[in-house]
A and B are shown apart, each in its own frame.
Chain A
């Protein structure tokens, strides 16, 4: 058997602090296993010296401190291979020497042991809410048996995205999983997701964050609230240990990879919600964890006198378009796409990613251009939350390079206002149903990620059950959270046993779901909305690590009809290419029955979107390799019912009823493919209800 010859660089040339070492390799950054040891590489433009600090796992005091000799420095990169250490058994950090001159942007502090920005594991929060130890960098074993797994590369127009919090999804006892609140727990719910029909799961932050980083108190119980959502990243390359059942063993990366692999086997893509607009270090009063001590003036947008710009609303703003930070963000996303087979990213407060170091919006932001053109990221979905907390609102104008889709906040607002009965919204709703061609002209409908609810704001149930937010439990006297939710409680605030109110809410929920799932673009829903999850009126549950946020799976039984309705609506979308267009409608194509979209009203072919009408009726048509596909949608947000004339169909084809949200539970929806035929050429649409029809061959009489 032949053996690979030993490498010349597999032996130490120096001894420092008791360890055999040699000049390391600058690339890759971070800590990587090499023959005989570990290669460490970290960069700092402003540091005057650097020390590698090694610890045994869980030890309080360092095992050794190794100063980088000058001959181990290449440019601004400090690299050293340390021999004879066991990657599994150590933790590490760095001390960076340099000036503390805040007004000049420098905040070096040799007393602090800093996290490696490229650390693939972080130790110190090994289980959720567990003992608080100093955070330290660790080294993940990066090999994994992927078998033949790869990114699924589903066509964007076919996606149905399901937004979920890893912990909240299975933490409630009713989830009945073996390891509640973890990646492994989520794996146990894959059969449920498959049956629901969603084919992409968008995970709220999974990069290591500190859930204990929240000073506010629960006003009733006096307990410290948590940072439950985790939009405050500590380790950008490390999956959060507290979200893994095996975090205490340092195997969170393996558990995460297994989750991705199992989701892929079920045909479900994995999209990560990534937070590159700020870090967990806060402003000048916040903790020094990593970036501030390594190169404050590089990583953060600073005012001329050295304070932090705050376009994120959290104290600091990552200096995304600095060339070094661009490289860092790109390395990070490549890591998740290549090492973890992640299918896409949703960028939190993405408008910040288009700002210059002085905060000015850039017309051609280098970071976004790099991400859009990157070869490793080519098959990743890129989704921008196209606004920030500094007032930059870019829905429809985000620098997209034909790669970035956007969370379409205007879809959310328009659908909410239409369904609750606001005047003069019908015309705008018509545009939103088509994938918002007003915002995305020259692009595909998939530029628009359509949603009615997201983690941020009311749940779908609460949207039809509360006029006002009820955020007292957040400890800020109900001052936090959005004040303009365009919600309507249907006649009573919150819990009620008034049958007429409950019936109207049930109908409104279905109206919202149907409009979401019949619109062109990429629909996104929030975990639990399919069976009426409530946050009891809280529209900003970022700190609620309890049953207010956790998905209560008992509701799947209580609201089984709503769940069945949602499943059918997703299946209907999958069955109808006319609803999943890859391009904006272009009118009549010369062949086939109809234009690709047409508008109707009380009279067929005659829409009436005047202010008081509150009615939108549309026919979506596609003539493709599978034949004719034709769907009719009528949404009546008025308190009076309407009789509508239906567009005529060719001989041998008739309208069949898929859904009527005014029908009682059980008859509100029919299984796709088994829709009953309608008689006559008119339909009655009840007050505040939505009807969806499909054109099919007439039933053959025996």
Chain B
């Protein structure tokens, strides 16, 4: 299954909607999207993950990549991760790089 992103930027808040499978094949493209989308001043990076069906070990590393790219002062919020993805993130300690939130009404 393919992986796509949709970026929206508004007053220092960058929102990226993730769709499909995030694994070692798609992870480099997400890293590139993050680099481009956060080229300006960023206060907050929001990753919408409701439509993310799978996140592999390499996919999880995108979260750390974003964290290290943006520095400790920028919040990274992962919204609506599936229970399995959320659990994997916390068991391996990747949750310390970000804030996990339930989905909000669209």
Cβ of A249 and Cβ of B88 under 8 Å apart?
yes
Chain A interface size range: 20 to 34
Q: Is the interface of A mostly helix, strand, loop or mixed?
A: helix
Task: Given A88-B58, A145-B67, A249-B57, decide whether A179 and B24 contact each other with a Cβ distance below 8 A.
Answer: no
Among the listed stretches A253-261, A278-286, A472-480, A506-514, which one makes contact with chain B, having 4 or more residues with CB under 8 Å of it? A253-261
The answer to whether B61 and A143 touch across the interface, beta carbons within 8 angstroms, is yes
Evaluate whether A141 and B88 lie within 8 angstroms (CB atoms) in the complex, with A87-B24, A249-B56 already known.
Answer: no
**Residues A246 and B93 in contact, CB atoms below 8 Å apart:** no
B2 CB-CB contact with A under 8 Å: no
Q: Are A141 and B93 in contact (CB under 8 A)?
A: no
Closest to B72 in A: A147
B residues less than 8 Å from A181 (CB atoms): none
Residue of B nearest to A250 (CB): B57
Asked, given contacts A145-B64, A145-B97, A251-B57, whether A88 binds B92 with beta carbons under 8 Å apart, the answer is no
The reply to whether B61 and A251 contact each other, CB–CB distance below 8 Å, is: no
State whether the Cβ of A245 lies closer than 8 Å to any Cβ in chain B: yes
Contact A88 B23 (CB under 8 A): yes
- By a CB distance below 8 angstroms, the chain B residues around A87 are 24
In the complex, whether B43 has a CB less than 8 A from a CB of chain A is no
Chain A residue numbers with a CB within 8 Å of B64 are 143, 145
Q: Specify which chain B residues have a CB less than 8 angstroms from the CB of A246 in the assembled complex.
A: 88, 91-92
Contact with B along A115-152 (1 / 0, CB 8 A): 00000000000000000000000000101010000000
Which residue of B56, B57, B61, B93 contacts A261 across the interface (Cβ within 8 Å)? Answer: B93
Closest-by-CB residue of B relative to A121 is B57
Question: Hey, what's the 0/1 contact readout for B14-25 against A, CB within 8 Å counting as 1?
Answer: 000000000111
B residues near A184, Cβ cutoff 8 Å? 91
Complex alpha-carbon distance, A656 and B57, angstroms: 57
Residues on the A chain within 8 Å of B93, using CB: 145, 254-255, 257-258, 261-262
Contacts of A245 in B (CB 8 A): 91
Which residues of B lie under 8 Å from residue A258 when comparing CB positions?
A: 91-93
A89 at the interface (CB under 8 A from B): yes
Whether the pair B58, A251 counts as a contact (CB closer than 8 A) is no
Residues in B47-67 with C-beta less than 8 Å from chain A: 56-58, 60-61, 64, 67
The answer to whether B68 touches A88, judged by C-beta atoms less than 8 angstroms apart, is no
Q: Contact between B58 and A141 (Cβ–Cβ < 8 Å)? A: yes
B24: contacting residue among A88, A254, A257, A262, CB under 8 A: A88
Report if A9 contacts B (CB, 8 A): no
Contact A88 B61 (CB under 8 A): no
Contact with A along B25-50 (1 / 0, CB 8 A): 10000000000000000000000000
**What is the total number of residues of chain B having a CB less than 8 Å from a CB of chain A?**
18
Cβ < 8 Å to B, chain A residues 252-282: 254-255, 257-258, 261-262
Q: What is the distance, in angstroms, from A624's C-beta to the closest C-beta of chain B? A: 39
- A86 lies within 8 A of chain B by Cβ: yes
User: Which among A86, A89, A143, A251 is the interface contact of B92 at CB below 8 angstroms?
Assistant: A251
B-chain residues with CB within 8 Å of residue A262 when the two chains form the complex = 93
On chain B, the residues within 8 Å of A250 by CB distance are: 57
- Which chain A residues border B91 with CB–CB below 8 Å? 179, 184, 245-246, 251, 255, 258
Which residues from A are CB-within-8-Å of B96? 145
By beta carbon, the residue of chain A nearest B25 is A86
Tell me the smallest distance from the CB of B33 to a CB of chain A, in Å: 15
Q: Does A86 lie within 8 Å of B88, measured CB to CB?
A: no
Within 8 A of B (CB), among A54-88: 86-88
In the complex, A175 Cα to B97 Cα: how many Å? 28
Q: Are B24 and A86 in contact (CB under 8 A)?
A: yes
State the CA gap A506–B64 with chains docked (Å). 51
Given contacts A246-B88, A251-B57, A251-B88, contact A89 B97 (CB under 8 A): no
Structural contact, B97 and A254, CB atoms closer than 8 A: no
- Inter-chain CA distance A257–B57, complex, in Å, is 14
Q: Mark A71-114, 1 if CB is under 8 A from B, else 0.
A: 00000000000000011110000000000000000000000000
**Residues of B that sit less than 8 Å from A by CB:** 23-25, 56-58, 60-61, 64, 67-68, 88, 91-94, 96-97
29 contacts across the A-B interface (CB closer than 8 A): A86-B23, A86-B24, A86-B25, A88-B23, A88-B56, A88-B58, A89-B24, A141-B57, A141-B58, A141-B61, A143-B61, A143-B64, A145-B64, A145-B93, A145-B96, A246-B91, A246-B92, A249-B56, A249-B88, A251-B60, A251-B91, A254-B57, A254-B92, A254-B93, A254-B94, A255-B92, A255-B93, A261-B93, A262-B93
- Since A88-B57, A246-B92, A251-B92 are in contact, a sample of 15 more A-B pairs with Cβ atoms closer than 8 Å, ordered by chain A residue number, is A86-B23, A88-B58, A89-B23, A89-B24, A245-B91, A246-B88, A246-B91, A249-B57, A250-B57, A254-B57, A254-B60, A254-B94, A255-B91, A257-B93, A258-B92
The 6 nearest A-B residue pairs measured at CB: A258-B93, A254-B92, A88-B24, A184-B91, A145-B64, A245-B91
